Amino acid sequence: MKKLTPRLILLAVITLIAVGANAQTKEQNINITIRPSQTVEERVADEIKANDLRKAAEEKRAAEEAAKIAETNPKTLLRKARVICVSTHTGFIDEVQLQNELRKRPEFETWQMAIVDGLRKQDVADIVIDIDRPLFTYTFTYQITNRSNGIVLATGKVTAFDGNIAAPMLAKRIIEEMKIARGEGKKK
């Protein structure tokens, strides 16, 4: 305790000199409180508290990270989707054909889904369904993508002669993908 006293006095003198040099008034009061050092029990208790706080912070961080991962899970994103935008990259099927077939499905109304039309309105959609047909094939492919982060949620294909035949088949497959994501359908 005697070794600490001269150090504290020296610290107080230095503080007084520094404060006095910068003071605007001549008189200033400085209160110095000297506290005894912690006992072993108090230090152990403080360490336990600090470890508990660290552990709680790590658990909170892990829970937040798990929530972020769950938000980017394709099934979760597909399950939460309410607004759809259909885009075709082939002349063999029109967007309207698939839109009409999706609207005919009873699940579409049950899930309270909506369709936006046009690339300019794509910004309000939750998911984008891209339809394509490679040249010299009868295979129509679809890709369901989350619009906000670009994560591919589902892909598939159907074989049909033209868009009139492919549209109902595509609508059925897309709704099946959504049913699986919602836990209402069976996996393939």
- Tell me: the pLDDT tens digits for 69-95? 777 888 888 888 999 999 999 999 999
Token digits of residue 3:
């070794």
pLDDT digits (tens, 9 = 90+) for 3-24: 557 777 777 777 767 666 555 5
Taking the domains of the chain in order of start, what are their residue ranges? 4-71, 74-182
Find the distance separating the first CA and the last CA of the chain, reported in whole Å. 77
Q: Which two tokens stand for residue 144?
A: 């369901």
Q: Which CATH class is domain 74-182?
A: alpha beta
For residue 140, which of 109, 176, 100, 97 has the smallest C-alpha distance?
97
Using DSSP, state whether 6 is helix, strand or coil: helix
